[in-house]
Structure 1
Amino acid sequence: MELVAGCYEQVLLGFATRPGQSWTVVPDFTHHAHSASLSAVAVNNRYVVTGSRDETIQIYDMKKKIEHGALLQHNGTITCLEFYGTAHLLSGAEDGLICIWNTKRWECLKSIKAHKGHVASLSIHPSGKLALSVGTDKTLRTWNLVEGRSAFIKNLKQNAHIIKWSPDGEKYVTVITNKVDIYRLDTASITGTITTEKRISSLRFITDSILAIAGDDEMIRFYSCDSQKCLCEFKAHENRIKDIYSFEREGQHVIVTASSDGYIKMWNLDLDKIKDGPSLLCEVNTKARLTCLAVWLDRASEMKENSDKTATSSQETEDEKSSTARRNKDFWTSGRVKAAKRKRKIIPRKQKLEAPVQKKKKKQNSSA
């Protein structure tokens, strides 16, 4: 298990994490990933990808611990990245584009002009057939990923900066400053609203009905989506919280938080005793101004993890089949996609990730 975090200092940080009776976090690598601050990070079972204000997406092969290359499709800060299974990655940026990438060959299958302003956030439905995005044009857009087209546009009164599907795909939430609106998929209507005192910077579904919310203070709060009531709040850090990540391992709900105070902390949440708050498992002081966070789980951990990958495995198989069926009439074999492929640039690199205690840079391996 690896904690990966981006920061203002243009560095990707990696920390090997060993679960047990006493969890441990050991610095594993630091890598000067970009020429500007990191703005987004995403993981799947093999890769970590990072987005930056330098307009590039960097790819890291976590199995081999090497930098795999760079994707240059966007013109503007990369604002959001999200994998779907093992075959696809979606990226959004300030240029208003959403790009769909095949992660086998790292080809841009389609580049969609999604918003008139910036793409602020995107989220893929657990089925892989739909995606939602919000932008600075005050719209919420639903995307048909099977056909690669817009399915529905909803005008918002203000700009939303976060959107997220629930694990079961039956609801989704949008965040506008300090307000969370909860929508039902079948009616596309708001069923409830959660309001906090401070601006919300990150939220995460812990279960289908429990949200973890963090923002411009030191507190983590757990809310019920059904009643919109706060189930628990506790002080997690000494400064504002920039990102939350969560996963389930052997029935254990683990919450990971990153803060402007430089600390990454891991917490154990017992849902039966949620009012008591989570207990601290371990922490590490990165001594960096953190911006984004993810957890890369190795294959052994994934097999133990009770996640939504099981529910989407059949869809992943369909994705892989469709990627090989090059002549099907799906959106990624259209003429427009071929044009996108001609535009996209990939810079291959095979540079090893450096251990943090190492002062001298390792020699680069020869390019593949």
Structure 2
Amino acid sequence: MGEVEVVAGSYEQIVFGYRVCPSEEEWRIEPVFTHHAHTASLSAVAASEQFIATGSKDETVQLYDMNTRTEHGALLHHSGTVSCLEFYGTSHLLSGGEDGLLCVWSTKTWDCLKTIKAHMGHVTSLSVHPSGKLALSVGTDKKLRTWNLIDGRSAFVKNIKQDAQLVLWSPVGDKYVVVMHDKLDIYSLESASITGTLTYQKRISSIKFLKNTLLAVAGDDEYVKVYDLLSEKCICEFRAHENRVKAMDSFLIDELCVLVTASNDGFIKLWKFNLEVNFIALPHRCYRTVYLVLDWPSCSPD
């Protein structure tokens, strides 16, 4: 099992890093770094094996080297807020911003290899296919775009009639989901058409695949819901925080799926999921354990 660290960005311009220390009895968490990365609030965080990249309203992408625990420089190419970041493996970083640009960076030289005018409005979200050959982006121009990352060209454009806030490939890459306010559309890669739609009770703020057919969804309330995408039903829900859930991520540790949630209540929580449980036979019962609760600097409301 590799070492797991949780990285969180705040409105207070600071990035926090913590090491997760599992044990049979009680899990611990150890602070490993605090980095005042920006001159404005953070808007995006991404991590690879070596680097952390953070985007901000100060129009920069700041890099932090996890091996040396030192600043590694800044990427200055966007005009306006850097809204989304994603690494692909150890070789590339993708960034999107309010300027409508999608940029592809080399993690070896940190040169900007491609600058693509992706959207007429803001780029709100991007996701790289597991193969590394395709990427999806959505923006405030009511378009969903598929990009060929080999040649940096648009492969497909779909009008979606609404501004989308989130887009995400499934772990296998045979489907992807697009979020528009409180609605989530499920697309098939093969047909590029909608195969299902989910509606949440509030605006959706974060989504995360737990496995290829299980999707965790959180919004502007205290709850997390897990949906089975085959039946399109909520198979698990629980109150995760005292305030809205702002962000989610997950990782596997000793074949255990751990969901990480962060909230405006100032806490980060880790939840255990047994993915082998037949959730469909036990609707709305969620097998979970709070391994630890981390009190971090409170977020300001946005």
TM range (shorter): over 0.9
Asked if 2 retains the 8 angstrom alpha-carbon contact of 1:86 and 1:103, the reply is yes
Q: Deviations over 1:229-257 (max 9, x none)?
A: 00110001000001000111221001001
Distance in structure 2 (CA, Å) of the matches to 1:13 and 1:232: 30
For 1:61, which of 65, 68, 71 is the aligned residue?
65
Q: Which has the higher helix share?
A: 1
Q: Does 1:4 align with 2:14?
A: no
Q: CA deviation at 1:278?
A: 1.9
TM superposition shift of 1:287? 2.4
Alpha-carbon distance, 1:32 to partner: 1.2
The residue type equivalent to 2:164 in the other structure is A
Quick check: 251-260 or 19-28, which moved more? 19-28
Whether 2:93 is the aligned partner of 1:89: answer: yes
Which ranges in structure 2 are unaligned for 5 or more consecutive residues?
280-284
Is 1:44 aligned to 2:48, yes or no?
yes
- Aligned twin of 1:100: 104
Deviation at 1:114, TM superposition (A): 0.3
| CA RMSD, Structure 1 to Structure 2 (Å) | 1.1
The normalised TM-score by structure 1 is 0.78
Q: Which amino acid in the other structure matches residue 11 of structure 1? A: I
Q: Which residue of 2 aligns with 1:365?
A: none
Q: Which has the higher contact order (CA 8 A, sep 6+)?
A: 1
Q: Give the alignment partner of residue 196 of structure 1, picking from 194, 200, 206.
A: 200
> Could you say what secondary structure the match of 2:276 adopts?
helix
**1:290 shift after superposition:** 7.6
Q: Does 1:277 align with 2:287?
A: yes
CA distance, structure 2, for counterparts of residue 146 and residue 154 of structure 1: 20
The aligned residue for residue 77 of structure 2 is 73
Deviation at 1:14? Answer: 1.4
Q: Aligned-pair distance for 1:26?
A: 2.1
Q: Secondary structure at the match of 2:211?
A: coil
Shift of 1:277: 3.4
**Residue 74 of structure 1: SS of its match in structure 2?**
coil
Alignment partners' CA distance in 1, 2:126 and 2:107: 18
Pairing 1:114–2:118 present? yes
Residue of structure 2 in register with 1:235 after alignment: 239
Alignment of 1:168-187 (within 5 A): 168-187=172-191
Which amino acid counterpart does residue 210 of structure 2 have in structure 1? I
Q: Note the C-alpha offset of 1:272.
A: 3.2
Whole-angstrom CA distance in 2 between matches of 1:235 and 1:279: 13
Q: For 2:136, what is the secondary structure of its paired residue?
A: strand
The structure in which a higher percent of residues are strand is: 2
Partners of 1:240 and 1:260 within 8 A in 2: yes
Distance 1:290 1:257, change over 3 A: farther
Task: Give the match for residue 249 of structure 1.
Answer: 253
Query: Which whole-Å deviations, capped at 9, do the CAs of 1:263-309 have from their partners, x for residues lacking one?
Result: 01111101234433321111110022189xxxxxxxxxxxxxxxxxx
Q: 2:22 aligns with which of 10, 19, 23?
A: 19
- Residues 234 and 280 (structure 1), Cα distance of their counterparts in 2 relative to 1, 3 Å cut: same
Equivalent pair of 1:258/1:290 in contact (CA under 8 Å): no
**SS across alignment from 1:81:** strand
Deviations 1:15-56 (A, max 9, x none): 222111211112222221100000100011111110000000
Q: Say if 1:40 and 1:50, in contact at 8 Å, map to a contact too.
A: yes
Give me the whole-angstrom Cα distance separating, in 2, the residues matched to 1:252 and 1:177: 31
Report if aligned partners of 2:47, 2:53 keep a CA contact under 8 Å in 1: yes
Cα deviation, 1:201-242, whole Å, max 9, x if unaligned, reads 000011000000001000010001111100110001000001
Partner of 1:260: 264
Paired residues of 1:61 and 1:67 also in contact (CA < 8 A): yes
CA contact (8 A) 1:25 1:283 kept: no
AA matched with 1:18: C
How many aligned positions are there? 291
Distance in 1 (CA, whole Å) between partners of 2:166 and 2:53 is 19
Residues 238 and 286, structure 2, Cα contact 8 Å, conserved in 1? no
Q: Which residue of 293, 296, 299 corresponds with 1:289?
A: 299
Aligned-pair identity in percent equals 57
